[in-house]
């Protein structure tokens, strides 16, 4: 098991894919098999903390110079699966998205233009050598995209209360085949009822991403550090995946009232998080 740290870095949630060792070519397969036997594997928070530490120097290092050799490990029914961190690739992808989230003056203060240009050039050269690369982890800050909840079911929800210095935990895990099936069903319903919109676009995008992985993989939706942005009582009662499923089923049945009620519950539940983000 990953070690537990009492220092927690908020406020990010994660969508991860754990692939069985058989999905990896040699010598990478042997590397991960050996890695999985290590007793000192880093935790989820260690992974985020390392990435944030690179932003402290002047100038900051938005993308690691070398790719990480770490991964998260999961054993299900005797099958060992790994989720490589790939922090360098994810750094480039996050940097590309940053321009859409921050006003230019703020972006320039956080990451000077010369730093961004150098990172973009490095990414172009790297992508020429690795055209099929894709991340095993997607990250969302201050929110969880509604399309992520489509992949999982309420019965797959696992919640643990805080205990001492160990923070609360809320996550879902589902087989890849189930996640893909739910995406396909939801897309059919949404296209038949609302035609187009950001939820459909997000589902198409995440569905294409899932197709890149082994069919016997496991998909994990982890609230991560976002648990600290939700009051404890509300977190325990958070069944967002159930509300998303109920809303889509109501649309399929032609019940606009029930669909609106499900959406209203989601909006109200996440209002606290949005308010806290605005305050920051």
What does the DSSP assignment read for 30-56?
HHHHHHHT-TT---HHHHHHHHHHTTS
CB 247 within 8 A of CB 263: yes
Q: pLDDT above 90 covers what percent of the chain?
A: 49
More confident site: 142 or 246: 246
- Three-state DSSP at 277 gives helix
- Compute the average pLDDT of residues 255-274: 90
Q: Is the pLDDT of residue 21 over 90?
A: yes
Q: Please state, in angstroms and rounded to a whole number, the distance separating the CA atoms of residues 256 and 200.
A: 17
User: What's the rounded mean pLDDT across residues 5-26?
Assistant: 80
Whether pLDDT at 24 is above 90: yes
Residue burial 235-248, b: 16+ Cβ < 10 Å; e: rest: beebbbbbbbbbbb
* Cα radius of gyration (the chain): 19
Cα gap 163→154, rounded to integer Å:
23
H/E run at residue 25: none
pLDDT tens across 201-256, in order? 999 999 999 999 999 999 999 999 889 888 878 899 999 999 999 999 999 999 99
Q: State residue 59's pLDDT score.
A: 58
Dump pLDDT digits (tens) for 96-126: 666 666 677 777 777 778 877 877 777 687 6
Does residue 53 have a pLDDT over 60?
Answer: no
Quote the pLDDT of residue 4: 37
What pLDDT sits at residue 100?
Answer: 67
- When the pLDDT of each residue in the chain is averaged and rounded to a whole number, the result is 84
Question: Is the per-residue pLDDT at 56 higher than 50?
Answer: no
Query: What is the pLDDT, as a whole number, of residue 117?
Result: 81
**How does residue 137 score in pLDDT terms, banded at 50, 70 and 90?**
very high
144 neighbors 221 (Cβ within 8 angstroms): yes
Whether 92 shows a pLDDT value over 90: the answer reads no
Q: What is the pLDDT of residue 3?
A: 40
pLDDT at residue 179 greater than cutoff 90: yes
Is the pLDDT assigned to residue 270 strictly greater than 90? no
Separation of alpha carbons 251 and 272, rounded Å: 27
Residue 255 to residue 68: CA distance in whole angstroms: 48
- pLDDT recorded at residue 49: 64
- In the chain, % helix, strand, coil (3-state, to 5) comes to 55, 15, 30
Q: What are phi and psi of 62, to 5 degrees?
A: -70, -25
Judging by beta carbons within 10 Å of its beta carbon (0-12, 13-18, 19+), is residue 276 exposed, middle or buried?
Answer: middle
- Contacts of residue 8, defined as CB under 8 A and 6 or more positions apart, other chains included, come to 45, 167, 225, 228
More confident residue, 51 or 32: 32
């Amino acid at each position: 098991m990953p070690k537990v740290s009492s220092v927690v870095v908020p406020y990010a949630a994660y969508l991860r894919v754990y692939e069985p060792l058989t999905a990896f070519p040699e010598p990478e397969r042997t590397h991960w098999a050996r890695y999985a036997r290590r007793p000192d594997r880093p935790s989820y928070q260690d992974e985020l903390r390392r990435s944030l530490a690179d932003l402290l120097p002047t100038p900051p290092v938005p993308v690691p110079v070398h790719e990480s050799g770490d991964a998260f490990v999961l054993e299900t029914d005797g099958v060992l699966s790994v989720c490589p961190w790939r922090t360098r690739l994810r750094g480039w992808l996050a940097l590309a998205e940053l321009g859409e989230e921050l006003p230019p003056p703020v972006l320039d203060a956080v990451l000077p233009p010369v730093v961004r240009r150098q990172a973009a050039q490095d990414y172009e050269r790297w992508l020429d050598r690795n055209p099929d690369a894709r991340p095993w982890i997607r990250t969302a800050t201050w929110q969880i995209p509604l399309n992520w909840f489509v992949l999982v079911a309420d019965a797959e929800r696992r919640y643990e209360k805080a205990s001492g210095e160990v923070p609360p935990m809320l996550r879902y895990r589902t087989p890849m085949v189930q996640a893909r099936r739910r995406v396909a069903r939801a897309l059919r319903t949404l296209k038949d009822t609302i035609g187009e919109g950001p939820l459909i676009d997000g589902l198409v995008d995440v569905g294409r991403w899932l197709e890149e992985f082994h069919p016997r993989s496991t998909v994990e939706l982890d609230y991560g550090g976002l648990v600290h942005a939700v009051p404890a009582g509300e977190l325990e009662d958070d069944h967002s995946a159930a509300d998303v499923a109920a809303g889509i089923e109501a649309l399929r049945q032609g019940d606009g009232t029930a669909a609106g009620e499900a959406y209203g519950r989601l909006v109200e539940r996440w209002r606290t998080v949005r308010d806290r983000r605005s305050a920051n």
